[in-house]
């Protein structure tokens, strides 16, 4: 990657009567940053920033978020335009290879992906080791990690060809893995991929076909599935992406690094919020109970939070949530679902929360997970599968970000520091002398 930050000035820091000049760097858009790389060498001090609220970890040219205005761009293109006009595979190409593909580039890329959708038969046997009632994300962490055992050659991440093979290969195999997880959890036989189908349709078919009957999804379902993948494809340095970068920074196998991203995505503060949100909407059950849950979300002595609300970066409406909301309405109309109690609760909850001073002051808006679960539910997935679907989309971003790091000459192994507040030096005492 060609580094493109420009120095725009310096920041002066005085500590222990020593003054250091730190470069202030600017990018294409977004806040400038203070480059603290030399801080320790020059002052003997680190910065402390638990949760990385004021810390950038890398230069990136993939995704840009303006959280104040609710803008999300991939390689410069706004998410709503991509969701409306593009498709997931084209977005995978854009994220990973930097530009929208030409017709022939897209043709070759699609062929490369669709020709690698099958799993090694030995890999298929791996699923049988899980309990049937395992959480699908537990199986996904294990299955993606296990894939690294089948592709030992992919270790050479510095080789451009190897990177392309392992990237396109994982994009190809993730739907097959996700569908097998679903089939295994409901005790149905695995359905093999069909390479003439689109990425989204192939995945849906592997999930919902049975040997006795082929599944022919409504085009609205295929469109909604593709859009779900697009909306979840990348979101710059979120927890799971940072996890992938950190794991890969040691030179670990790329698929093992992606498995660490799957693990990080699982939690309810991150990708697991889609599952938690739908469970919450079901628990609320009717619009009459909304005030009770709003009151709980505001009560500091109650750990309950409104799932699908709030974001570290967005202090405005998450642009993905807007598209997701429109997609849900489209889907309901196409499927002729007139009275969805879950959707009614969600819309009323959003309306009440957005007028409530607590949510207004804290700038808490619906995020992508607020409506995505309703779409996944309407498509026919059980809640436990929701985060697996998120992982399917986010694999595109994990790979792009990991590959970008691999070719960024400024990147070194990730190694944060700490401030130590444990016991000071003390001598070991033998067991007999301890009371």
Complex with ligand CMC: residue 156 or 302, whichever CB lies closer: 302
List 369, 408, 427, 432, catalytic entry: 369
When CB distances to ligand CMC are compared, the closest residue is: 310
Tokens 């679902």 found at:
337
393 binds ligand CMC (CB under 6 A): no
Residue 80 beta carbon to ligand CMC: minimum distance, rounded to whole angstroms: 17
Considering the complex, what minimum distance in angstroms separates the CB of residue 388 from ligand CMC?
14
**196 given a catalytic annotation:** no
Q: Which of 167, 238 has the CB closer to ligand CMC?
A: 238
Please say which residue, 88 or 314, places its beta carbon nearer to ligand CMC: 314
Residue 273 binds to ligand CMC (criterion: CB under 6 A): yes
What is the rounded distance in angstroms from the CA atom of residue 136 to the CA atom of residue 168?
23
Q: Which stretch binds ligand CMC (CB under 6 A): 177-185, 278-286, 299-307, 381-389?
A: 299-307
Touching ligand CMC, residues 195-224 (CB under 6 A): none
Count the site residues for ligand CMC by CB under 6 A.
20
Which one from 116, 235, 270, 311 is the annotated catalytic residue? 311
Sign of the alpha-carbon dihedral angle for 91, 58, 366, 354: negative
Q: Under the criterion CB under 6 A, does residue 65 sit at the interface with ligand CMC?
A: no
State the minimum distance, in angstroms, from the CB of residue 274 to ligand CMC.
Answer: 8
Does residue 366 touch ligand CMC according to CB under 6 A? no
Question: Residue 12 forms beta bridges with which residues?
Answer: 21
Q: Per CB under 6 A, does 309 bind ligand CMC? A: yes
Residue 373 binds ligand CMC (CB under 6 A): no
| Closest distance of CB 151 from ligand CMC, Å | 28
User: Is residue 364 a contact point for ligand CMC (CB under 6 A)?
Assistant: yes
Does residue 311 carry a catalytic annotation?
yes
Shorter beta-carbon distance to ligand CMC: residue 271 or 397: 271
- Candidates 114, 117, 238, 406; binder of ligand CMC (CB under 6 A) is 238
Binding mask 311-330 for ligand CMC (x = CB under 6 A): xx------------------
Going across the sheet that includes 63-66, the strands are: 63-66, 71-74, 77-78
Interaction between residue 362 and ligand CMC (CB under 6 A):
yes
Calpha distance 308→345 (Å, rounded): 13
Q: In the complex with ligand CMC, which residue's Cβ is closer, 381 or 386?
A: 386
Whichever of 269 and 286 has its CB closer to ligand CMC, that residue is 269
Residues forming the active site: 311, 369
List contacts with ligand CMC (CB under 6 A): 51, 238, 269-271, 273, 297, 305-312, 362, 364, 367-369
């Amino acid at each position: 990657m060609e580094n493109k930050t420009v120095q725009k000035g310096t920041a002066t820091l005085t500590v222990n009567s020593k003054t250091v000049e730190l470069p202030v760097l600017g990018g294409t858009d977004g806040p400038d940053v203070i480059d603290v790389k030399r801080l320790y060498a020059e002052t003997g001090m680190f910065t402390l920033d638990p949760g990385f609220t004021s810390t950038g970890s890398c230069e990136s040219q993939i995704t840009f978020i303006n959280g104040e205005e609710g803008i999300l761009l991939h390689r410069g293109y706004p998410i709503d335009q991509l969701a409306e006009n593009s498709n997931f595979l084209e977005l995978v190409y854009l994220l990973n290879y930097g530009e929208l593909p030409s017709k022939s580039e897209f043709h070759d890329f699609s062929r490369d992906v669709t020709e690698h959708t099958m799993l090694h038969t030995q890999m298929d046997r791996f699923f049988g080791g899980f309990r049937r009632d395992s959480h699908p994300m537990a199986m996904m962490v294990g299955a993606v990690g296990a894939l690294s055992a089948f592709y030992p050659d992919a270790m050479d991440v510095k080789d451009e060809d190897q990177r392309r093979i392992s990237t396109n290969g994982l994009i190809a195999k993730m739907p097959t893995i996700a569908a097998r997880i679903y089939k295994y959890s409901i005790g149905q036989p695995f359905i093999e991929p069909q390479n003439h189908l689109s990425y989204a349709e192939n995945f849906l078919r592997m999930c919902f076909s049975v040997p006795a009957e082929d599944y022919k999804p409504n085009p609205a379902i295929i469109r909604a599935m593709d859009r779900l993948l697009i909306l979840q494809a990348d979101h710059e340095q979120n927890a799971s992406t940072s996890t992938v970068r950190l794991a890969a920074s040691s030179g670990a196998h790329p698929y093992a690094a992606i498995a660490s991203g799957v693990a990080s995505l699982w939690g309810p503060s991150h990708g697991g919020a889609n599952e938690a949100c739908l469970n919450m909407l079901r628990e609320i059950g009717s619009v009459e109970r909304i005030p009770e849950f709003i009151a709980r979300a505001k009560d500091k002595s109650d750990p309950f939070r409104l799932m699908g609300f709030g974001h570290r970066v967005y202090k405005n409406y998450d642009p993905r949530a807007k598209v997701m909301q429109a997609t849900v309405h489209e889907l309901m109309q196409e499927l002729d679902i007139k009275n969805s109690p879950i959707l009614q609760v969600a819309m009323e909850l959003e309306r009440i929360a957005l007028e409530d001073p607590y949510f207004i002051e804290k700038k808490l808006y619906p995020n992508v997970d607020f409506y995505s679960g309703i779409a996944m539910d309407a498509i026919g997935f059980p809640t436990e599968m929701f985060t697996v679907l998120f992982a399917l989309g986010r694999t595109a971003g994990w790979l792009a970000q990991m590959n970008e790091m691999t070719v960024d000459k400024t990147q070194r192994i990730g190694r944060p520091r700490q401030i130590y507040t444990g016991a000071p030096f003390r001598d070991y005492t033998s067991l007999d002398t301890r009371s």
